[in-house]
Amino acid sequence: MKLLEATIKNFRLLKELTLDFSVDPEKPLTVIRAANETGKTTCQNALMWCLYGSKALPRKGEYSLFPSDASARGEKRVEVSVEIRFEVEHATGLGKGRHQISTQRYHLIRSCVENAPKEGAKPRHSEVRALWRSGLTGDVKVPDLEVDDIIEGALPESLKDVYFTDGDSAMSFIEAAASQSIKRQRVTNAIEALLGLTTLEKTVSHLGTVVARFSQEIDNKNYAKELEILNDRINGLQEDIEEWKAKREEAELNIAEVTREHALVESKIEEALLRGDKEKLVKKKAQAQQNISRLSENAKQQLKVISSLASGEELSLAILEGAIVKVKDNLNKRNQSKQLPKVNVPILEELLDRDSCFCGSDLTADSLEGRSRRSKISGAIEKSRASDLVQESASSLFYRIRSVDPAVGAPRWISRYSEMHLSYSQLLSSVTMSERELQEVEEDLSTVQGSHVPELKDQRLKLLAELQKLRSDEGTHSSRIHEATERLKDADREREVVRKKLGKTNTSTINYDLAKEAQVVFSTIIDRLRHEELKKVSVEMNRIFLSMIGSEGEKSQFGLIQSAELTDEFDIMVYGPDKHRLNPDQDLNGASRRAITLSFILALTKISEVEAPNIIDTPLGMMSGYVKQSVLINTIKEGSQVVLFLTHDEIKGVEEILDRHAGRVFTLTNPAHYPKMLLNKPEVSDSRVVRCECDHRGSCDVCERKSMELV
């Protein structure tokens, strides 16, 4: 799929905007220059809405399309529409392994009526979609039943979050704020989207329903009640898991949306502070935040080491010192008196195998005296068994502890504990000092005159509180899913035990076995596909990432970063020399963090083998110099059609690369930025995003910005 053009009307701030895209194979890059708050994310949402409908919008479609200034003008409703023109390559078989590639052009239109936001009112209605196929004789409407298949073939909906990427949101795969299990789930979801496992997962779910139905049909009066209870429990757990998965997915979508809002507010704060000549304070703040993150992680690891001392041998020796001394003294005395080692039974049993005793007495079974002696020996064996067991245990204990010195346990444990606890206390003290330093810097920054930093910081606090709640909800749902899944496994095993007790002639039992076996087979296929694809993505991610940061991998003797991989547990990991593990969110600089997430996204698109545009918002944030240029070049190289939304700061330093590779460049401007950021007053009468044809090197009366926006 290649995008040709998009026309957007009344989609929030995009009142009447046309986006056109480069399809030149020599220059496949389209650059849309746009500052913050200029509708970059809105453009992406508009394209996804046109392709997939309201379900693709943030917050499960609860995302108002109504222009923000329309209510002030008294408008109650507006007609929203997005039209996309695109082309798709089709392969036509010619026989004998030959095929012919042909290109088909389409234009897709989606429209709706959007009501002004109102509590309890339905915001959107009359949503319709139409797809037209272009031909020599004109455009022909595609039957509605075929539309989904054409769009799904061009760009599968499961891959929309891979091909439509927000540079800040992509960081969620490694962000420190998320728990390890949540980050793993995000990577797993991306891999599953790449594989398109929806059909297989629906098959497994359907087979689970079939298994439950056949289980209920089994007729065996001895187990009917037990089976009914198990089936009810399993069905309830399955419903709970589906419900919690839906809630977790909703939380993840909300987290992505709030994270974008938070990143935008954060960038506004830093921009305002930097332009307010507070650069040193900003750098000091960033350093304090890094110190808190690093020291907190070190303290966490140190606490784990301290915890491990509780299960060590030294503490055991210290606690049991008195008992060990007494036992050793007792065993030594027994050894000196030849009571250890001593075992009677083997000697007596050996006598029963002989015809005469060691002393010469008759032990034959033929004589009366021999039988009498053998009977006494057998009785002695039975009486000695219990004492022999004690003797054997005592002998084993004697040899195990005779070289143990319990007196050294307590001093050694106290010494190690004191050392570890001192280190832990020092780390906590350092964390407190860094937090105090950060608080002081924040207070200094809030005193900046002539800026809106205090208001922005209030907004940031609210967003952080919302993020914390959403992440807590996400973690809660993940924990519930995990616990319910474990209980489901236990219930399934119990049901299997009951089933095995049933009569083999029952046809429902046979059907149950077949359905259960099919469910296991499909589940195994999903797991195998997931891990096979994981390895492919890991190899591609490592290749792209090392190329982006200019590392020669393990060939480099002094390189700080030598490889990256996706582990079998779906963790994104980075390694230094000697396979030293680096935390991607804490041990990498901002440029490398963004590079590893972009390399993961690009690896997914590469492995998917779906030829579709990569539309990326703010890919070069927090970057400069070589890495910035390398990330841009690799992004262009790995994509078949690349569309980048770049801010003015992102463009600085990569102008020559854009000269060589960009087939289309234009600029979007938000007139609301006048007079603080824009030099000239825009010729518009409402709130909207406007376009001009200025490229990455030029400006005009519409887009020219002030060199200092805060004075």
* Neighbour count for residue 258 (Cβ, 10 Å): 20
In the block, which residue shows the tokens 């209030």? 458
Query: CA–CA separation, 238 vs 361, rounded Å?
Result: 78
Least confident of 29-33, 168-172, 539-543, 564-568: 168-172
Distance CA(470)–CA(464), nearest Å, equals 10
Domain ranges of the chain: 1-21+37-155+656-711, 279-447
Provide Rg for the chain, Cα atoms.
36
Q: Would you place residue 340 in the very low, low, confident or very high pLDDT band (cuts 50, 70, 90)?
A: low
Cα–Cα distance for residue pair 645/627, rounded to 1 Å: 18
Specify the range with the lowest mean pLDDT, choosing from 125-139, 252-266, 281-295, 529-543. Answer: 252-266
Measured distance CA(655)–CA(54) in Å, rounded:
37
**C-alpha–C-alpha distance, residues 542 and 574, integer Å:** 9
The closest of 38, 6, 7, 14 to 686, measured between CA atoms, is 14
Query: Does residue 509 surpass a pLDDT of 80?
Result: no
| pTM over the 0.85 mark | no
Of 623, 622, 605, nearest to 614 by C-alpha is 605
C-alpha–C-alpha distance, residues 471 and 450, integer Å: 35
Give the closest residue to 165 by CA, choosing from 669, 670, 651, 642: 642
Q: In the prediction, which pLDDT does 400 show? A: 66
pLDDT at 83 over 90: yes
Smallest CA-to-CA distance from 191 within 449, 484, 530, 438 is with: 530
List Cα–Cα distances, 481 to 237, 242, 484, in angstroms.
Answer: 9, 9, 5
Q: Which amino acid is at 212?
A: A
Q: Residue 3: what are its φ and ψ, rounded to 5°?
A: -80, 135
**Which amino acid type is present at position 9?**
K
Q: What angle separates helix 279-308 from helix 409-445, to the nearest 10 degrees? A: 160
SS3 86: strand
Token readout for 707 is 């060199």
Residue-level length of the chain: 711
Distance CA 254, CA 236 (A): 27
pLDDT for residue 16: 93
Is the pLDDT assigned to residue 656 strictly greater than 90? yes
Whether 661 contacts 644, CB under 8 Å: no
Is residue 493 scored above 60 in pLDDT?
A: yes
Give the SS3 label for residue 64. Answer: coil
* 643 within 8 A of 617, measured Cβ to Cβ: no
Which among 104, 81, 117 is positioned nearest to 150, based on CA atoms?
A: 104
| Element holding 335 (H helix, E strand) | helix 321-336
Give the long-range contacts of residues 306-314, CB within 8 A, separation 24 or more. 306/417, 306/420, 306/421, 306/424, 309/413, 309/416, 309/417, 309/420, 312/413, 313/409, 314/408, 314/409, 314/410, 314/412, 314/413, 314/416
Tell me the pLDDT band of 171, cut-offs 50, 70 and 90: low
SS3 call for 363: coil
Which residues neighbour 179 within 8 Å (Cβ) at sequence distance 6 or greater? 475, 478
Which of 293-307, 437-451, 481-495, 689-703: highest mean pLDDT? Answer: 689-703
Q: Which residues pair with 668 in a beta bridge?
A: 34, 691
Closest Cα to residue 619, out of 589, 603, 638, 595?
A: 595
Quote the mean pLDDT of the chain.
79
Return the bridge partners of 339, or none: none
Predicted pLDDT at 702: 92
Using one digit for the tens of pLDDT, what is the confidence trace for 347-379? Answer: 666 666 777 777 777 778 778 877 787 777 777
Q: b vs e for 643-653, b when ≥16 Cβ sit within 10 Å of the residue's Cβ?
A: bbbbbebbbeb
- Per DSSP bridges, beta strands 572-575 and 77-95 are unpaired
Between the CA of residue 263 and those of 275, 469, 560, 569, what are the distances in Å?
18, 17, 28, 29
Question: 296 versus 332: which is more confidently predicted?
Answer: 296
Identify which of 109-123, 460-474, 610-624, 645-659 has the greatest average pLDDT.
645-659
Query: Regarding predicted confidence, which is higher, 225 or 709?
Result: 225
Which two three-digit tokens encode residue 663? 């087939």
pLDDT of 29 above 60: yes
DSSP 443: H
Q: CATH for 1-21+37-155+656-711, among 3.40.50.12780, 3.40.50.300, 3.40.640.10, 3.30.70.20?
A: 3.40.50.300
Q: pLDDT-based confidence at 657, cuts 50/70/90? A: very high
Helix (H, G, I), strand (E, B) or coil at 619: coil
What is the mean predicted confidence (pLDDT) over 75-96?
Answer: 82
Give the tokens for residue 692.
Answer: 């001009």
204-219 mean pLDDT: 68
Cα separation, 73 vs 64, whole angstroms: 17
| Residue-wise pLDDT tens digits, 661-676 | 999 999 999 998 888 8
- pLDDT recorded at residue 221: 46
CA gap 538, 680 in Å, rounded:
49
Q: Taking Cα atoms as reference points, which of 577, 699, 510 lies closest to residue 35?
A: 699
Amino acid 323 reads A
What are the distances in angstroms from CA 22 to CA 160, 190, 402, 641, 668?
20, 28, 83, 8, 17
pLDDT score, position 158: 78
Structure tokens at 386: 């219990």
DSSP 27: B
